[in-house]
A and B are shown apart, each in its own frame.
Chain A
Amino acid sequence: MEPVGQPDALDPAPLLVGVKDDQTVTQIIFRPVWERTRRGWWILFLIGLGGVGLLITAISVTLARGIGAWGNNIPVGWAFGIVNFVWWIGIGHAGTLISAILLLFQQKWRTSINRFAEAMTLFAVMCAGMFPVLHLGRPWFAYWLVPYPNLMRIWPQFRSALTWDVAAVSTYFTVSLLFWYVGLVPDLASLRDASKSRLQRIVYGIFALGWRGSGRQWHHYRIAYLLLGGLATPLVVSVHTIVSFDFAEGLIPGWHSTIFPPYFVAGAVFSGFALVLTLMIPARRFMGLEQVITLKHIDNMNKVLLATSMMVGYGYLIEQFMGWYSGNIYEMYSVLNRMFGPYALIFWLLILCNVLAPQLMWSRRMRTNLAVTFGVSLLVNVGMWCERFVIVVVSLHRDFLPSSWAMYRPTWVDLSLFTGTLAFFGTLFLLFLRFLPAVSASEVKELRQELSEHAEEKAA
């Protein structure tokens, strides 16, 4: 059932369509969990597993042969590994923005999409985390990054941005996981109570921890959920800021810049919203969630997409301007090399995808057109990957001395690692959609209650 028609200018588009009571909400949201596994799900899942096989192969080759199996060289010591790390971490940020910042700002439209976006955050951070660990060269010594008393009597060097990254990413993952799980508990209890088989009742029951939804429980739960949201909020800003320090602390032309933190955070939110849209448009259709994830949600997300696209575009503009304004030949050359060097195609692709394509979203008709939105969101995903490639590889491959310049080409291991993480992400997401409610039923019910009270007040 598609909510149709242009809404009245004075009457905003509805957040929930045709949802009469709490029982309807339960039915709509839990139906995909209770129904038989569909054939389409199995096909996608098997493809995903195949991709995970590729990922395992590529990781094994990396472990057995070392980083030499990658296309990295000197001067391009950071390449696909870091590009993919930054891209995946950035994607996660939309989840936290939707679930935490919009929660604090009391944006009602976040309710239907937060669970979905948070799951995306968790899986994206898992994919991201693999790359720097593999890039260590000897990943089995990854625990050396943690300050633990050891016989070598040495400690991590905390004045390096790379150790900050470890703290930021692991905190980010942990807090996102706790926040997501706390949000899930009432729905897990609801699944437990509606279970049809004993096995379902036991499994959901274990994860529901014996939640009863009692007033005394909600009393503490509500404040805990809000506080976790409050704690996740500065994380949105801090994680990508710290990731950007990895570059901004370096002296490479094109990296050594103070605009990096805000520019990276905006880019992260931008790419994350794009991926939420990419995943949500098919998912809401195939899972019959159109009544709770309405065109109003798509419209709002597209507005965020447009706003962050403008911020990122401003970042590109300032980068070019500062290159010229610095009066430094290396900075100037790095700007010219991006636009007209051997990797110029990737630069122009990124401008097309990140700055030009989202301009369509000025029109409301485009914002509520699912095909256009889906296309633009895919382009933005590609564009943001290109942006990271331009920052990492294109800056490194021609730095100061022309005698040390080199070209970078990914090997099959690089490409398999990247496609492998895409498949890993997709597989986890399919499992999530199969076994857990993609939309928070308890929060949608709360919203429904609030909206109906509001409507009653208006009528009176």
Chain B
Amino acid sequence: MADWILGEFGTSSALLKAAEQLRREGHTRLDTYSPYPLDGSSEALGLPRSKIPLIGLAAGLSGATLGYVIQWLTNAVDWPLNVGGRPPHSAPTFIPITFESGVLLSALSIFFGLWLILRLPQPYHPVFDLEEFRTASSAGFWLSVESVQAAAEKEQLVRRLRSLGAVQVSIVPERR
């Protein structure tokens, strides 16, 4: 049966050092937990660059294009209306809505893209089974190693976490 190994550290720097060290020792399925974002946690976990900016840019550009095209199609092609003799396709007056629709679509896709990438909402997660882990969102610094199978490896990881300075180490079963 697969288990999660959770260890709590006293300080954020101890946590990051431990994560870095474990990663160097070949453990890839690591994660750190902290009440606020830690500088250097992405580097310690060796994460690639986030795709969020690309999503935002693509959505922003398509939103702006869509906004302009809708205004042009409705006001200049489908139903041209003569208002004070101004041209039906008057680009400068289309700027505000083009801008707003770009911002709107970009913000919406960053928002939903974030939850999609993080796979949230997720009501259950193995770490929530540990009552002590509740400190992770207020003051605690935790480290997890994901679904470890072999009993020998579990024991070895518990010892390793202790030697890296973990204040407490727990094993949480993964329910599937």
Contacts and interface: CB of A to CB of B under 8 A. Distances in A.
B103 A210 contact: no
Contacts of A39: none
B81 A157 contact: yes
Contacts of B75: 155, 157-159
Contact of A442 (B36, B70, B90, B123): B36
A219 B71 CA distance: 38
A211 B118 CA distance: 9
A205 interface: yes
A219 B37 CA distance: 8
B114 A171 contact: no
Contacts of B135: 193
- Size band of the interface chain B makes with A: 35 or more
B53 A194 contact: no
B33 A212 contact: yes
A223 interface: yes
B45 interface: yes
A221 B114 contact: yes
A211 B83 contact: no
A446 B39 CA distance: 10
A193 B136 contact: yes
A215 B70 contact: no
The B interface is mostly helix, strand or loop, or mixed, namely helix
Interface stretch (A46-54, A160-168, A292-300): A160-168
Interface stretch (A1-9, A70-78, A226-234): A226-234
B176 interface: no
B97 A213 contact: no
A171 B104 contact: yes
B100 A178 contact: no
A178 B111 contact: yes
A11 B70 CA distance: 56
Interface in B66-85: 67, 70-71, 74-75, 78-79, 81, 83
Interface of A: 21-23, 26, 147, 153-161, 163-164, 167-168, 170-171, 174-175, 178-179, 182, 186, 189-190, 192-194, 205-206, 209-224, 227-228, 231-232, 234-235, 238, 242, 245, 441-443, 445-446, 449
Given A190-B138, A228-B107, 17 more contacts: A153-B79, A158-B74, A164-B96, A209-B122, A210-B123, A213-B34, A215-B34, A215-B41, A216-B47, A217-B118, A219-B50, A220-B50, A220-B118, A223-B50, A441-B138, A443-B36, A445-B35
19 contacts: A23-B138, A26-B138, A147-B70, A158-B93, A159-B75, A159-B83, A182-B114, A210-B121, A210-B124, A212-B33, A212-B127, A212-B128, A213-B35, A216-B47, A219-B41, A220-B114, A224-B52, A224-B110, A224-B113
Nearest 8 A-B pairs (CB), nearest first? A155-B74, A215-B32, A210-B122, A22-B139, A193-B134, A209-B121, A446-B36, A215-B41
